[in-house]
Amino acid sequence: MARRSPTLHPTDRRILRLAFPALGALATEPLYVLVDTAIIGRVGTDELAGLAVAAAILALVFAGSNFLTYGTTQRVAHHVGAGDRRGAAGVGVQALWLALFVGLPVAPLLALGAPAVVGVFGASGSVAEHAVEYLQIRAIAVPFMLVTLAAQGVLRGVSDYRSPLVVLAVANVGNVALELVLVFGLGLGIAGAAWSTVAAQIAAAVAFGVLIRRRVALAPTWRPEWAGQAPLLLAGRHLLLRVGAMLGVLSGTTAVAARIDAPTLAAHQIVMSMFLLVALTLDALAVPAQTIVAEELGRQGRAAAREVATRVVRLSIITGSGLTVLLATGAAWLPAVFTPDTAVAERATSGLLILAISMVPAAIAFAHDGILIGAGDYRFLGVAAVAYLVAVAPLGVATLVVEGPGIAGLWLTLGTWMLLRSVVNDRRTRHLLPTPPELSA
């Protein structure tokens, strides 16, 4: 009797089909920073340390605006699942208006406040000067970055993950080419890295504007309306609380590293860049969950959404296990890609090994984040994120106060944070989307 070859479940296939292009789109901002890190690491340690501080601040702005993507994805997908294409288009138009209303005032505030914000992170001297220079230039592209986030939410909501991948891949290639010319060809240093990223983000926003025109053509109005923006802002309030608390953890570790020494801060930037990259590999599985869970809740109900959740978690655990092996294997040689400084490389190796063993808990945490966003459970995500911050803050403080832990203490703190998120978020999903009695039996 012929043996049948194993096949993936249709839901698994759809998750993976959306996850691969989602990975490229999600990795855009971390790739901008990763490219900057690799190039600026060859310019100097102080420049790399300054980039670490500026990147942490920009991460606050970027992640704090992610509600434009997540909230838009969930609402558009829910309308699509219910067969309401007109309503989905209306959500897209209001999301774009909201991106402009937020981005236009934030850009000058970030540029003017750069010296003060950099000071809060503990940077001083030439490190602070480099951080301020990079931050003030990158502020120019903030409104364009937010438009890109909103447009991605529209496209994800209609399950179009390929278009963002194409646009952002082209933007990244252009960024690398231009940055090499500006940094090494024209000798602009860290300013050249910032200007190349600004150019890439502006070009991406223009391309997204062209792409989504037909997606929002059915909108009942093209004018800004409070009624259309209010649900996004409500979701944004809770998601901003979530992001603020999460970045309080991530940025807090950067602030602690800045108060230890420049090599530790530079090494932390290398490990953090890798974390952002591999974490978004996991988020690439969680993002399809936002779309599919929201669709199923709009179309069929909780039983179908629960099946999606189970499959997303399973695929995420497999992916997290693979990332553990890759990071553990590469920990000894990866730092040399970013810096010739032996002290920085040794510290980065320690951080990468700890990051490697944290990948499976991180995989579970990211999967449930996507599931709960798809279910519209924004309030829980915000409150829980604050609780995680409060729980791990003493560990971060101990790393600074007690002599010895250094970068290992920082990444053990982050590993504990990921473990807490995985356990609590799993319990919340089980409560919100319980397994149907016939399946549990």
In 425-441, which positions are buried (b, 16+ CB within 10 angstroms) versus exposed (e)?
Answer: bbebbeebbeeeeeeee
Residue 282 to residue 266: CA distance in whole angstroms? 25
What the block records as the tokens of 49 is 């340390």
Helices and strands in the chain: count of H runs, count of E runs = 18, 0
Contact criterion met (CB below 8 Å) for 45 and 339: yes
What the block records as the tokens of 25 is 């789109």
Q: At what angle do helices 342-357 and 262-299 cross, to 10 degrees?
A: 30
3-state secondary structure 114-161: HHHHHHHCCCCHHHHHHHHHHHHHHHHHHHHHHHHHHHHHHHHHCCCC
Q: Where are the beta strands (DSSP E) in 213-367?
A: none
CA dist 72 to 96, 103, 155, 156, 218, Å? 10, 16, 9, 9, 16
Cα first-last separation, the chain: 32
pLDDT the model gives residue 440:
46
Q: Any idea of the CA torsion for 314, 436, 76, 284, to the nearest 10 degrees?
A: 0
CB atoms within 10 A of CB 162: 16
Residue 204 to residue 174: CA distance in whole angstroms? 10
Q: Which amino acid is at 268?
A: H
Q: In terms of C-beta density within 10 A (0-12 exposed, 13-18 middle, 19 or more buried), how is residue 224 classed?
A: middle
Q: What does 58-81 look like in DSSP terms, one character per residue? A: HHHHHHHTTHHHHHHHHHHHHHHH
In 343-370, which positions are buried (b, 16+ CB within 10 angstroms) versus exposed (e)?
Answer: ebbebbbbbbbbbbebbbbbbbbbbbbb
Which residues lie below 8 Å from residue 380, measured CB to CB, with a gap of 6+?
Answer: 372, 428
Q: Per-residue confidence of the chain (441 residues) as pLDDT tens digits? A: 444 445 677 878 888 888 777 776 666 666 766 777 777 777 777 778 788 788 878 877 877 777 788 778 877 887 777 677 777 787 778 888 888 888 889 889 988 888 888 887 776 777 888 888 889 899 999 999 899 988 888 888 887 878 888 888 888 888 888 988 988 888 788 888 889 889 999 999 999 988 888 787 777 777 767 766 777 766 667 777 887 788 788 878 888 888 888 888 888 888 888 887 788 788 888 888 888 888 777 776 677 778 888 889 999 999 999 999 999 998 888 888 888 888 888 889 999 999 999 999 999 999 999 899 888 888 898 899 999 999 998 988 888 777 767 888 889 999 999 999 999 999 999 888 876 554 444
Which residues lie below 8 Å from residue 213, measured CB to CB, with a gap of 6+?
Answer: none
